[in-house]
Chains A and B, each alone.
Chain A
Amino acid sequence: MSEPVRILTGRWREPDTVWIDRYLETGGYEGLRRALAMSPQEVIEVVKASGLRGRGGAGFPTGVKWSFVPQDTGKPTYLVVNFDESEPGTFNNRELVERDPHQFLEGAIIAAYAVQSHTAFIYCRGEFLWPGRILERVVAEAYDRGFLGRDILGSGYDLEVVIHRGAGAYICGEETALLSSLEGYRGQPRLRPPFPAVEGLYASPTLINNVETLSNVPHILVNGPEWFRGFGPEKSPGTKLFSVSGKVERPGNYEAPMGTPARVVIEEMAGGVLGGKRLKAWTPGGSSTPFLTAEHLDVGLDFESIQAAGSLLGTGAIMVCDETDCMVEVTRRLLQFYAHESCGKCTPCREGTWWVVRVLGRIEAGAGRPEDLPLLDDQCTNMLFRGFCALVDGAVSPMSSSLAYFRDEYEAHVREHRCPVTGRGPGLVAEQGAREEAPAATTVPSWADLAEELG
């Protein structure tokens, strides 16, 4: 087994590192001290040189994003920390805040200094009641010790931090929707450009970074960009906190250098597939990233390698399905999520997700028609890239990839009127004419009702 690397999770095994005393004893806020001794431009150059890329999904180079924030607009500049973690399967931001919250807060202060922002908002997912309470306390601690407020550490730099809680909407993790929400509106995305860096919160220059991204920043300031580049491949340096869940022996967050083969993370770190079963499908970065299969286990978990394999690194959320899982059911459940979370702004997303769930449900219930597969293909085509934001693209990902890799399973559902994996469904009864009326015997009653409704 490879030697574990612990940068972001370095304090997790020590007791009481949540609060500021232990954080300071373990080298905390040294990155901020170094940053404040440099000019903001120098800080940006260090982060640029490190090659750090955003961990929220898009993988945009962090230092470059910082450098896009203009300094001469006459408007205030804002930093917004995206702690609205909601991508299905993702739980690394939550654990980073629960176990070592000062780490990302220090990164946030450094980022704010680099773009010369004097007001930062932490957009905390509403359901994160306990992490939000931790945040309230660590922000208060940082004020008490002079890491926030006026004249931070005697540098003359001022920063106020406001915690803003969301109220239950996946779409608010999308940065422009997050800004709409923070301004007090429905969380609907905005057209880009203008990008938030130029015209973000309150139409002012705004930097938005995710908690994991910011958690890397203090380490880069302390150890230097060359050290950071010592982990992972050239284009995706550093480590990543992979959230592994589903059918594995030891679900959890595992830190590993970018580029670590998926097999190492799934089989060694997470203990392999539950009960020694065969792996069937996995997501590399949450439900919005196309499924990969057992054939892709040796692909390195970094932005380029995963993309070359036909998916996306996303948030590094690895959800594992085994050989006993029905991919139609799995896909239907994920699409149900997108149908629920679509903000309703764009028709292809609002209507498309709704209809796809119904067609998938019909197939799942054993009432699928031969023409349903081409219909699903067509729906994928008509949804992909047809929305303001990436939510609809995320919805297409699990659908188009499961159709590509498991088409025979969909076809068998339609042909046999039951699931070839679980055996569920009305089976041949439906074929003998009853199909038009009531394909009922399924473990998901609502879908049987639906199948009845749709014929």
Chain B
Amino acid sequence: MAVLTPELRAEAERIKARYPAGRERSAIMPLLYLVQSVEGRVTQDGLREVASLLGITTAEVEAVAGFYTMIRLRPTGRYVVSVCTNLACALRGARGVLEAARRTAGVPTDGELSEDGLFTVHEEECLAACDAAPVVAVNFANYDRMTEATVSELIEALRRGEEPPPARGPFPGDFRLVSRLLAGVPESVGAGAPEATATAEEPLR
């Protein structure tokens, strides 16, 4: 079954055209993000579609997709909550933050989906924001200096449908929209894309 709409297939062709002629395979990651932006993860249908776009086998696409943690092959929540527990965050209490996040979101097993379908909680490696340890990212937007209390509040706010402002940049939207941004495609492209989030003109901290 086709995953991409005709409009998104046209976008897929533009993604391929970013790379030199004959080197379209380089587009595999943005194309996987594009498929993920429709499916909320990447299914076998999505892998097949990327394979057909690139003229390679589904197995080759799956081999690449399985290597990268940001391409999600398992059922995934609307919000992917990544809790860094690497050293700089661990030294500042990340273990407790991770446990609180898992408890509040209802995701006892790493990388799995909460029963309400809202959250995936994932123990993350260094997010390169160690000055703000412990760091938690929601759909790859960072929240700084988290505690067990503030991470629980963050998750409760998301559950209520709020959009808590990240430390830098705008609230990124749900996992599908974020995947669209990661594909390098403007969020306005494609049917069903949520309301545009703020632009890059947002002030920095």
Contacts and interface: CB of A to CB of B under 8 A. Distances in A.
A137 interface: yes
A82 interface: no
A58 B95 CA distance: 32
A18 B19 contact: no
B69 A169 contact: yes
Contact of B88 (A129, A245, A443): A245
A334 interface: yes
Given A129-B182, A133-B200, A165-B29, A185 B64 contact: yes
A276 to B, nearest CB: 16
B18 A91 contact: no
A88 B88 contact: yes
Interface residues of B, number: 53
B67 A165 contact: no
Ranked 9 nearest A-B pairs via Cβ: A130-B169, A245-B130, A167-B68, A184-B25, A168-B69, A129-B140, A168-B70, A245-B88, A88-B126
Interface of B: 18-20, 23, 25-30, 32-33, 54, 63-64, 67-71, 82, 85-88, 90-92, 95, 125-133, 137, 139-142, 166, 168-169, 172, 178, 181-182, 184, 200, 204
Contact of B131 (A130, A170, A252): A252
Interface string A74-91: 001000000001111111
B88 A85 contact: no
Contact of A334 (B63, B87, B131, B132): B87
Contacts of A340: 125
Contact of A88 (B125, B131, B140, B168): B125
B87 A18 contact: no
A325 B91 contact: yes
Contact of A129 (B18, B28, B30, B181): B181
Contacts of A408: none
Given A127-B137, A129-B169, A246-B91, A163 B184 contact: yes
Nearest to B71: A167
Contacts of A317: 130
Contact of A166 (B68, B126, B133, B184): B68
A419 interface: no
Interface string A314-349: 000101110001000010011001001101000000
Contacts of B137: 127
Contacts of A187: 67-68
Contacts of B126: 86-90, 337
29 contacts: A88-B87, A89-B130, A90-B126, A98-B204, A127-B127, A127-B128, A128-B140, A129-B169, A129-B182, A132-B182, A134-B200, A137-B200, A165-B182, A167-B32, A168-B68, A169-B68, A169-B69, A182-B26, A184-B29, A184-B54, A185-B64, A244-B131, A245-B131, A252-B131, A317-B130, A319-B88, A334-B86, A337-B125, A444-B95
A119 B23 CA distance: 13
B130 A251 contact: yes
A170 B71 CA distance: 15
Nearest to B183: A165
Interface in A1-32: 18
A385 to B, nearest CB: 24
A271 to B, nearest CB: 12
B128 A18 contact: no
Given A129-B182, A167-B71, A333-B87, A86 B125 contact: yes
A247 interface: yes
Given A167-B29, A186-B64, A98 B128 contact: no
Contacts of A320: 91
Nearest to A172: B68
Contacts of B68: 126, 166-169, 187
Interface in A80-121: 85-91, 93-94, 98-99, 119
A167 B128 contact: no
Contacts of A202: 20, 23
B82 to A, nearest CB: 8
Given A126-B182, A136-B184, A287 B87 contact: yes
